[in-house]
């Protein structure tokens, strides 16, 4: 059997989302893989490999919560008993994520055909005396933008995904609605937001796409564009009271379009901007109660997603996060540090979505054949308790 070993070879790749809290879980799987290939790590290599792997995941996640690591392995040319391994990180652009999702979407209207009841209600309230100026951030194909423009409001929309922007533009053109469309990624482009201020700024189903850090970065810019007495309305996943999320839940949420905030995190974010909460309602209950019966549910995925089940998919009871409508007004007495220039004062960090798919090689190493101590995955337990299915 020993003589057959050099002639028994395996090559392939192992890939998964860059979730740093899962590093040990993945690492244990890698050790099992190398064992199965009859190329276990030398004890001396385990630490180096583990450290390179942890760095790869941390850097990948910091670049984008949608990043994936790819570990490719093949027999080393110089020694068939060794494996050559290369680790890289791949981050799909926002456009690529949507192309993929839209292709698999079973709904003809990807986000629903009716506007959000909350958006309509607030626009009506604010527009009692006449049309208002509204900014719809991450407008998609115009589910909210178009009805708001039909109601005579001046609507500006930001939508970076070309397919969605095209649908919005064409629909507005067909109906001869005046909608100003900015095809920009609000996080990373120097968007010219000089067109404000706005009485209403809406982000519907957008914040769950952003990492917590990016949402914190974008809020000051938007608040800087609110007219006096204006309202910032967004929906966001909020942790239910009594739930203390750990890093695994927080990080995984960001990779499944379900970024969430605890009440404390949200209060820190908004009070620093002088924002005062004026509406706080569960999206599911509010929309179900206010949308026409035939418009419910808005899409096939909406109910499960809004309940937090993208993340807590197999939890039997009520998931510990839920999508909520949150409307804020600015406290007129608060002295704010205004964002500097158009891009705000925040430092711009590496773009999660900026470029098309990129693959940055983050390291390679050879593994020599020897028995290696098996790593135990502590993460398995945490996975079970959060009900995340892998």
Binding site for ligand SAM (CB under 6 A): 94, 111, 137-140, 143-144, 158-161, 164, 185-187, 204-206, 209
Shortest Cβ 147–ligand SAM spacing (Å): 11
H/E segment holding residue 216: helix 212-223
Shortest Cβ 379–ligand SAM spacing (Å): 29
Shortest Cβ 104–ligand SAM spacing (Å): 14
H/E segment holding residue 34: helix 23-36
Is 252 or 259 the residue whose CB approaches ligand SAM more closely?
Answer: 259
Shortest Cβ 319–ligand SAM spacing (Å): 19
How far, in Å, CA of 210 to CA of 285, rounded? 24
Q: What is the dihedral of CA 226, 229, 230, 236, to 10 degrees?
A: 100
- Written as one string, the DSSP assignment of 145-183 is HHHHHHTT-EEEEE---HHHHHHHHHHHHHTT--EEEE-
3-state secondary structure of 358: strand
Is 6 or 162 the residue whose CB approaches ligand SAM more closely?
Answer: 162
Closest CA to 50 of 19, 28, 70: 28
What burial class does residue 289 get, using C-beta atoms within 10 Å of its C-beta: 0-12 exposed, 13-18 middle, 19+ buried? Answer: exposed
Pairing of strands 358-367, 83-91: antiparallel
Is 42 or 107 the residue whose CB approaches ligand SAM more closely?
Answer: 107
Is 192 or 335 the residue whose CB approaches ligand SAM more closely?
Answer: 192
Q: Could you tell me where the beta strands, DSSP code E, fall in the chain?
A: 12-17, 68-75, 83-91, 133-137, 154-158, 179-182, 198-203, 226-239, 260-261, 275-282, 321-330, 358-367
Is 97 or 154 the residue whose CB approaches ligand SAM more closely?
Answer: 97
Shortest Cβ 115–ligand SAM spacing (Å): 8
Is 186 or 248 the residue whose CB approaches ligand SAM more closely?
Answer: 186
Shortest Cβ 69–ligand SAM spacing (Å): 22
Shortest Cβ 107–ligand SAM spacing (Å): 11
Is 160 or 245 the residue whose CB approaches ligand SAM more closely?
Answer: 160
3-state secondary structure of 33: helix
């Amino acid at each position: 059997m020993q003589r057959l070993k050099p002639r028994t070879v395996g090559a392939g790749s192992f890939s998964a989302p860059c979730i740093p809290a899962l590093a040990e879980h993945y690492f244990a799987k890698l050790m099992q893989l190398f064992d199965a290939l009859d190329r276990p790590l030398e004890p001396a290599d385990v630490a180096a490999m583990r450290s390179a792997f942890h760095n790869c995941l941390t850097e990948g996640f910091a670049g984008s919560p949608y990043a994936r690591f790819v570990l490719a392995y093949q027999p080393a040319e110089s020694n068939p008993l060794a494996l050559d391994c290369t680790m890289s990180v791949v981050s799909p652009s926002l456009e690529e994520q949507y192309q993929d999702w839209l292709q698999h979407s079973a709904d003809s209207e990807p986000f629903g055909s009716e506007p959000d009841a909350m958006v309509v209600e607030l626009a009506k309230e604010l527009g009692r005396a006449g049309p208002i100026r509204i900014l719809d951030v991450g407008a998609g194909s115009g589910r909210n933008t178009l009805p708001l423009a039909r109601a005579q409001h001046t609507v500006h929309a930001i939508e970076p995904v070309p397919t969605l922007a095209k649908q919005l533009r064409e629909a507005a053109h067909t109906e001869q609605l005046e909608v100003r469309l900015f095809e920009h990624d609000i996080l990373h482009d120097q968007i010219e937001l000089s067109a404000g201020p706005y009485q209403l700024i809406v982000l519907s189903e957008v914040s769950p796409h952003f990492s917590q850090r990016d949402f914190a970065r974008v809020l000051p810019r938007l608040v800087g564009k609110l007219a006096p007495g204006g309202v910032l309305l967004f929906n966001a996943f909020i942790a239910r009271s009594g739930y203390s999320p750990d890093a695994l839940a927080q990080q995984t949420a960001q990779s499944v379009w379900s970024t969430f905030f605890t009440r404390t995190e949200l209060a820190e974010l908004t009070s620093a901007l002088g924002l005062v909460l004026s509406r706080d309602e569960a999206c599911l209950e509010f929309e179900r109660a206010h949308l026409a019966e035939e418009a419910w549910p808005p899409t096939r995925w909406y109910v499960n997603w809004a309940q937090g089940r993208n993340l807590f998919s197999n939890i039997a009871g009520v998931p510990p996060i839920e999508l909520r409508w949150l409307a804020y007004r600015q406290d007129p007495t608060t002295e704010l540090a205004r964002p500097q220039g158009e891009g705000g004062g925040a430092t711009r960090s590496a773009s999660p979505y900026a470029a098309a798919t990129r693959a940055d090689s983050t390291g390679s190493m050879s593994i020599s054949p020897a028995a290696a101590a098996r790593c135990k995955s502590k993460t398995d337990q945490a996975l079970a308790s959060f009900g995340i299915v892998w």
